[in-house]
Structures are given as C-alpha cells and as structure tokens.
C-alpha cells in the first residue's frame, strides 16, 4: 500500500476490534507471520552511522546490494570529534568516518557527513529534517532509536545482523511486544520537564519495568510537552526496558513537521495530516499494563547510582541499602554507592561536582540549550564544562540567538555537534574518579570514560550544578537571583 507519508508501507490494517496506536502501526507494516509468532515487517526508514560498518561488511561478503538506498540515511555522529578544526586527527576515528562515507556512496545512500550542514546526532537529525513522520517504522543500530516514537512512529534499535538484514531486504523479523500505557495526569511545576518525568517513571517501574512492552505515553502532562520535550521522553524509554516509546501525533506534531525538508509538501502534507489523525489508540483499546503518575508529584530529579532507576528528587538524600526491597537490590545499591563514592543518608545537594556536560541525543536540541542558557545567563560556572549541540543546524540557531556567548561567558566550552561526552569514544571523556552532572541518558559504570561517575539530569539542572559546583535545585538557584 501507499502510506500517509507518500512512501510504501508493508501491508494493510488486518487487526480486529479496538486497537492501540502501536497495534495500528504494527498492522500497517506486517507482511507475513510465521508459525513461531515472528512477523516480517516492512521498514520505512533505516538510519545508519559509523557503527553500522558491520552490517555493510556482511552484505559485502555476500555480494548483496542495499535494497532501498532511497529509504536509508547515513549520519556521522558517534565517533566524530567535537573539536575538528583541521579535520579528524585520530586515525582510527578518521577511518570509521571515511568508511561510512565510502559505504554510503557506493550504495547511493544520502549521508549527512562532517562536511554536510545537516550533520548531527542521528536522533536529532531525523526529526529536524522531517525524516521522522507519524506511522513510520524506523530502525537504527542504536538503542536510543526509541526517540523517534515521539511522532507516533514505531522506532527501535537493532543489532549488527539485523542491520544487514534490513540493508538487504528493507524488512525485519520481529515478535509483537506487549503494550503498556503510561499516563501522566495534571500539570508539571516550575522547572520540571521531560527529563524529570522520564527519570521519575524509571525510578517508579525500574530499569526493566517495561521489558517486553511497547510504551505509549498519554495524559494531560504529556500533551502539554513540546515536540522536543517528547523526543527526550521517548528517548529514555529504552532505559525503562521498553521495546519502544511513542506518543500519538497531534496538532503539536503537525505544526513541528510542516515545512521540514523531507516532510510532505502542500496538499500532500494536508492529506498526510488527515491520515495521521487516525494514529491514536482507540478508546476501548486494552493495554497489558497501565501506569499512572501525577505530574504535580514530580520534582527536578538527579541520579545517584549507576542505573537510570537510581533517581530521586534533588532535595532527597542518598538511600540506604538496608531499606532495599530485596537482598539482591541491597547488593546492587551497595555496589553503586561504592563506585559513586557516596554514603547512605548524604544529602544530594551536598555532592560536589567536578564538571558538567550538556549534549547527547537526549538533551541537545535548541529548547534544551535555551533552558540551560536561561539559568547560566549572567552567572559564572564554578567548574569546567562542555556544551555540544545536537546538530549543525542547532548549533547555527543557538549562535544566532547568542546562546553560545552565554555558555562561553559562564566559563563553559562550546564545541561542534556529535554524541560527544555521552559515549566516551570520540575524545570527550570524564577523567577517572571525577563526577559529572550530565544531560545524557546513561549513568552506567565507565559510560563517560573509565572510572567516570555520572549524575544524569535535565539541562536546567546541569546548569544549576555548574553554577553551584555541586548538585543543586535549579529552583533555588533561579530564586536566589
């Protein structure tokens, strides 16, 4: 069939009765289901980056070709240095970037490379270019592909062998996950945003609480979020163990997409919107699990341990393993406290920070930078830090608005776009033993560099930590002006 986006979809709706948003998109893309329950799905967008070289290697070894180069898009982001005046100095990293260029050129794939004004982090570039549209099935060899679900798309990360399968066939075998709806009631308070909502959800249900489920976010507090905030929320779905995260498209979605380079144009856009309006869970749709939170109960949040579920309101204290719900959880907490060099009962706002990082596919969009800059304006950072915009387009816009000057005048470094200090594989790392307040998505051991200690939080909260030199409540920092 021809989908609402003007591209091919993999099949017709074949479900019966009331269906969730996820079921509708799954049914649109299902080609055939085997006796073992696995379904072959058509893929609308395949995003590749430097790490996808394994997939290209596999199809090269078989003498195969990329089936749909027109539906495949390459982005240089994970390994690229954010200080790259004069080119990429590291020969290993330069080789990865050059290999991506060679693979995409040979296959006829559009590449947003280092010399392209559209370059950036894949999960920032896709939405801002209009490649991410409601109803699409989107895959990428990166776990945080769930980000794109903010538009009402089914988006998820895949492994190297799956990358090769999609490159060769534009299809993928999957088992239908269960459905979970997370409903956030009410309104958020001052300085409480998508990152705080997401971390509160993960702390509530656990880092594996949504395992085997496709998450749909709903409720007044979700509808009130901007598209960029929704992207942050869906980005963190994987940290709750979800297969994907999604939000039904609405007027906020349509307004964001209008005029984007790869989005439908003119009458085609209006026709697409008419179809996209049907992408909502039916009123009688049944979910396998329902979770409800009250936005009024959510405060600015920081993590204290080595999992995103180790998150608490900033005005809390480090928890005591003795209060854990099980011996296994107590052991995990003791291990996390030892790695993070923290003591039970210690006030979170007493924890000194060595450096800050603002960036990553979670929180590097223009609204994130504006939020951090609004806290830093007229203030000085007590510690060093790095600000890496999510794309070259975001960087240009931030500079046009003067945000880069605010960051520099505060004492932070302003660099190019890329995954940067989130992954510690591109030259931007946190030194061993140092503590970083970060807008990233993972606080695993060594995530930002061997021996690095990461506290994840919102851009505004990172800015507050930069000013205070410790974990701090942004509400108190702003009120003290």
Q: Is residue 470's pLDDT more than 90?
A: yes
Report the C-alpha gap between 76 and 418 in whole angstroms. Answer: 8
The tokens describing 216, both together, are: 């749909």
Contacts by residues 475-480 (CB-CB < 8 Å, ≥ 24 positions apart): 475/190, 475/191, 475/300, 477/375, 478/191, 478/375
pLDDT in tens, 191-236: 999 999 999 999 999 999 999 999 999 999 999 999 999 999 999 9
Alpha-carbon torsion, ordered 74, 76, 78, 83, to 10 deg = -170
- pLDDT, position 11: 35
Confidence of residue 81 (pLDDT cuts 50, 70, 90): confident
pLDDT in tens, 284-337: 999 999 999 999 999 999 999 999 999 999 999 999 999 998 999 999 999 999
pTM above 0.75, yes or no: yes
Q: Is residue 40's pLDDT more than 70?
A: yes
- pLDDT, position 481: 66
Confidence of residue 105 (pLDDT cuts 50, 70, 90): very high
Task: Report the CATH architecture of 21-292.
Answer: 2-Layer Sandwich (3.30)
Report the C-alpha gap between 272 and 3 in whole angstroms. Answer: 9
Q: Is residue 14's pLDDT more than 60?
A: no
pLDDT in tens, 141-194: 999 999 999 999 999 999 999 999 999 999 999 999 999 999 999 999 999 999
- pLDDT, position 420: 84
Residues of the chain with CATH 3.30.499.10: 21-292, 310-479
- pLDDT, position 6: 39
Question: What are the residues facing 313 on neighbouring strands?
Answer: 301
Confidence of residue 9 (pLDDT cuts 50, 70, 90): very low
Q: Is residue 446's pLDDT more than 90?
A: yes
For the domain spanning 310-479, the CATH number is 3.30.499.10
Q: Is residue 16's pLDDT more than 80?
A: no
The pLDDT of 47-73, averaged and rounded, is 94
170 within 8 A of 67, measured Cβ to Cβ: yes
Closest Cα to residue 151, out of 30, 4, 50? Answer: 4
Report the C-alpha gap between 374 and 141 in whole angstroms. Answer: 35
Grouping H, G, I as helix, E, B as strand and the rest as coil, residue 405 is helix
Confidence of residue 12 (pLDDT cuts 50, 70, 90): very low
DSSP alpha helices (H): ranges in 353-418?
A: 366-376, 392-400, 403-410
Taken in order 138, 142, 143, 149, the sign of the CA dihedral is negative
Confidence of residue 36 (pLDDT cuts 50, 70, 90): very high
For the chain, how big is the Rg over CA atoms in Å? Answer: 22
Summary mean pLDDT of the chain: 94
The pLDDT of 394-411, averaged and rounded, is 98
- pLDDT, position 96: 87
Grouping H, G, I as helix, E, B as strand and the rest as coil, residue 174 is strand
- pLDDT, position 10: 36
- pLDDT, position 1: 32
Cα three-residue angle 78-84-90, rounded to 5 degrees? 70
- pLDDT, position 8: 39
Report the C-alpha gap between 312 and 301 in whole angstroms. Answer: 5
CA distances for 251 relative to 39, 181, 224, 379, 455, angstroms: 32, 21, 11, 37, 35
Report the C-alpha gap between 106 and 332 in whole angstroms. Answer: 48
């Amino acid at each position: 069939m021809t989908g609402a986006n003007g591209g091919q979809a993999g099949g017709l709706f074949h479900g019966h009765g009331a269906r969730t948003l996820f079921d509708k998109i799954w049914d649109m893309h299902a080609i055939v289901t085997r006796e073992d329950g696995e379904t072959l799905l058509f893929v609308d967008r395949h995003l590749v980056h430097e790490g996808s070289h394994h997939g290209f290697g596999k199809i090269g070894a078989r003498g195969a070709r990329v089936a749909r180069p027109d539906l495949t898009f390459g982005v240089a982001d994970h390994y690229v240095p954010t200080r790259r005046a004069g080119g990429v100095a590291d020969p290993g990293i330069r080789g990865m970037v050059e290999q991506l260029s060679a693979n995409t050129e040979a296959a006829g794939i559009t590449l947003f490379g280092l010399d392209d004004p559209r370059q950036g982090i894949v999960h920032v570039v896709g939405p801002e270019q209009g490649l991410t549209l409601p109803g699409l099935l989107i895959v990428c060899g990166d776990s945080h592909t769930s980000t794109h679900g903010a538009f009402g798309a089914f988006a998820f990360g895949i492994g190297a062998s799956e990358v090769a399968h999609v490159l060769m066939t534009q299809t993928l075998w999957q088992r239908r996950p269960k459905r979970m709806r997370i409903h956030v009631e009410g309104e958020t308070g001052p300085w409480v945003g998508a990152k705080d909502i997401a971390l509160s959800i993960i702390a509530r249900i656990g880092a594996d609480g949504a395992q085997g489920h496709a998450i749909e976010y709903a409720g007044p507090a979700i509808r009130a979020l901007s598209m960029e905030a929704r992207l942050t929320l869906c980005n963190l779905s994987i940290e709750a163990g979800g297969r994907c995260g999604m939000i039904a498209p609405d007027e906020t979605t349509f307004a964001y997409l209008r005029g984007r380079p790869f989005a439908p144009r003119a009458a085609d856009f209006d026709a697409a919107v008419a179809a996209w309006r049907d992408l909502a869970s039916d009123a009688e749709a049944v979910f396998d699990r329902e979770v409800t939170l009250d936005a009024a109960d959510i405060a600015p949040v920081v993590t204290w341990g080595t999992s995103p579920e180790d998150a608490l309101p900033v005005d809390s204290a480090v928890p005591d393993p003795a209060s854990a719900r099980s011996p296994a959880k107590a052991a995990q907490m003791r291990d996390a406290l030892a790695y993070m060099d923290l003591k039970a009962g210690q006030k979170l706002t007493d924890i000194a920070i060595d450096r800050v990082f603002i960036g990553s596919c979670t929180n590097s969009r223009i609204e994130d930078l504006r939020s951090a800059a609004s806290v830093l304006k007229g203030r000085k950072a007590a510690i060093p830090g790095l600000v890496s915009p999510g794309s070259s387009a975001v960087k240009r816009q931030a500079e046009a608005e003067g945000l880069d000057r605010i960051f520099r005048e505060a004492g932070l470094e302003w660099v190019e776009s890329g995954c940067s200090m989130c992954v510690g594989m591109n030259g931007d790392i946190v030194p061993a033993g140092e503590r970083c307040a970060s807008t990233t998505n993972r606080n695993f051991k060594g995530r930002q560099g061997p021996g690095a200690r990461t506290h994840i939080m919102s851009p505004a909260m990172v800015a507050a930590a930069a000013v205070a030199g410790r974990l701090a409540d942004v509400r108190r920092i702003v009120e003290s002006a």
